[in-house]
Amino acid sequence: MKGSELLRKLRHYARVHGVPCHFVPERGKGSHGTIYLGDRRTVIRNLKDELKSGTLYAMLKQLGIKESDLA
């Protein structure tokens, strides 16, 4: 899954569950940015790059959701 696809799925998840979600590219260094989902946050790499599975699971854990919630 690419970073942009994850961001799109997180925005859809937030809209369905009534949770605020926004991406702040300035809150990161270089190509990194921060995703806020409710009161939780995580850092995402370049949106054009493919995310490794361990990185994806760690990000979802930081946000407090499961991969099955994004489907």
pLDDT per residue as tens digits for the range 16-53: 999 999 999 887 777 899 999 999 999 998 889 999 99
Asked if pLDDT for residue 68 goes beyond 90, the answer is yes
**Start-to-end Cα distance in the chain:** 12
The angle at the Cα of 12, spanning 11 to 16, to the nearest 5 degrees, equals: 120
Other CB atoms within 10 A of residue 50 CB: 13
Dihedral angle at the C-alpha atoms of 38, 40, 43, 49, nearest 10 degrees?
Answer: -50
pLDDT recorded at residue 27: 79
Q: What is the mean pLDDT of residues 51-61?
A: 95
pLDDT recorded at residue 54: 95
Which candidate, 25, 29, 23, 28, places its Cα nearest to that of 10? Answer: 23
Please tell me the pTM assigned to this model.
0.89
Residue 48: its H or E element: none
